[in-house]
């Protein structure tokens, strides 16, 4: 930077006026530097003529004075802090980092296109995908710079899910021996339930009212003597084949399923109540439940064992992370819920917060 003695004198004079607490020291230095022997002189500093050697000596003296001046230290330190904070903020937001489309990014975009459309993208399509990627990156960086990722429930949940998924990477697929052991321990879980084949006639109470009972009883007598019967039309199936009790309950209602499971095989019973009206029911075939072989349910067993391991790994990982944090909540949370687990919880009796270390 180039400066003249006159310019430096004017700068010092400005400092003297801006910071009156040091005006005597600055004014004295100003007069001394300008060649005035009387610091109290009030004459303007025009026509300065300072020799080279004298100039160097006085600049050296000025630098020595600046080194020992606290105000200069304060201004310099503040400027450094501001510059460092600005640089860190820009770096954290990625605004001063160029957007680089790597080979890995291109491969990922190609893989996504192949998965979605079943083919590799053509050159113009790939260029569009790259432009979309750059657009997304710009918007994400700007959103972070404006703090839009803060206090966002969707972002919070996604981050929590990613932390959960990290624990999945530590879980190994079960071996054949582990599958056999797990299956033997939980064989009843994979038992096939009893199933039935049944048929039914419906008499709708919303159409017939109280007359539905009379019609159903008359139809039951006809069925018992082998005469044809005509029920009311509905969306319900006339037959249910190979259905377990839970499937029958979903289709016809819990009371219907309970009556059907208690009915003897090959006999018409009724009227049976359901949310749809009154039914006449006959169970034509009943099959007892059997325990499935491991080969028949191997995929289910493998998925169940893997899910149990993932859940255990997530809980173990969370327990490690949880130890890093002290949690505070209102003491009323524990007081209002006596059934809530309180292991490891210390409720403050001197303040409004309960603390879980």
Does 348 or 84 have the greater pLDDT score?
84
Q: Which residue ranges make up each domain of the chain?
A: 5-68, 103-150, 194-288, 327-356
CATH no. for 194-288: 3.10.50.40
The per-residue pLDDT for range 192-205, each reduced to its tens digit, is 889 999 999 999 99
Report whether 328 contacts 353 (CB < 8 A).
yes
By DSSP bridging, strand 239-244 and strand 353-356 are unpaired
CA torsion angle for 302, 304, 306, 308 (degrees, to 10)?
-150
Q: What is the DSSP letter of 265?
A: B
Mean pLDDT (whole number) for 173-197: 92
The per-residue pLDDT for 298 is 93
The two structure tokens encoding residue 150: 């803060």
Is pLDDT of 339 > 70? no
Report whether 278 contacts 289 (CB < 8 A).
no
pLDDT band of 233, cuts 50, 70, 90: very high
The two structure tokens encoding residue 34: 């300008």
Q: Where on the phi/psi map is residue 69: left (φ > 0), alpha (ψ -120 to 50), or beta?
A: beta
Mean pLDDT (whole number) for 103-118: 89
Q: Identify the residue whose tokens are 């018992």.
A: 224
Does 78 or 223 have the greater pLDDT score?
223
Mean pLDDT (whole number) for 28-43: 48
The per-residue pLDDT for 116 is 87
The two structure tokens encoding residue 118: 């079943």
For the chain, give the percent of residues with pLDDT over 70.
71
């Amino acid at each position: 930077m180039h400066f003249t003695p006159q310019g430096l004198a004017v700068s010092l004079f400005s400092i003297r006026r801006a910071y009156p607490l040091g005006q005597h020291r600055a004014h004295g230095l100003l007069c001394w530097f300008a060649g005035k022997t009387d610091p109290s002189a009030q004459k303007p500093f025009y026509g300065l003529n300072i020799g080279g050697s004298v100039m160097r000596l006085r600049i050296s003296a000025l630098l020595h004075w600046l080194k020992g001046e606290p105000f200069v230290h304060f201004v310099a330190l503040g400027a450094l802090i501001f510059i460092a904070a600005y640089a860190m903020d820009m770096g954290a937001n990625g605004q001063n980092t160029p957007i680089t489309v790597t080979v890995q990014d291109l491969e990922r975009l190609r893989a996504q296109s192949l998965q979605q459309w079943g083919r590799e993208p053509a050159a113009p399509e790939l260029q569009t995908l790259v432009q979309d990627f750059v657009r997304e990156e710009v918007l994400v960086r700007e959103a972070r710079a404006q703090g839009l990722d803060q206090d966002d429930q969707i972002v919070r949940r996604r981050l929590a899910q990613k932390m959960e998924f990290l624990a999945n990477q530590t879980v190994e697929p079960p071996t054949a021996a582990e599958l056999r052991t797990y299956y033997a321990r939980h064989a009843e879980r994979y038992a096939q339930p009893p199933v039935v084949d049944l048929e039914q006639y419906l008499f709708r109470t919303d159409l017939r009212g109280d007359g539905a009972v009379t019609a159903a009883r008359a139809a039951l007598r006809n069925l018992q003597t082998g005469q044809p019967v005509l029920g009311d039309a509905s969306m319900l199936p006339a037959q249910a084949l190979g259905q377990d009790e839970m499937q029958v309950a979903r289709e016809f209602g819990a009371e219907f399923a309970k009556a059907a499971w208690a009915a003897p095989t090959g006999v018409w019973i009724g009227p049976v109540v359901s949310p749809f009206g009154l039914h006449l029911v006959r169970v034509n075939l009943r099959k007892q439940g059997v325990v499935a072989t491991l080969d028949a349910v191997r995929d289910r067993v493998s998925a169940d064992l893997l899910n149990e391991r993932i859940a255990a790994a997530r809980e173990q990982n969370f327990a490690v992370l949880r130890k890093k944090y002290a949690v505070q909540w209102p003491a009323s949370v524990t007081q209002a819920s006596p059934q809530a687990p309180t292991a490891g919880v210390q409720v403050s009796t001197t303040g409004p917060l309960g603390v879980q270390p």
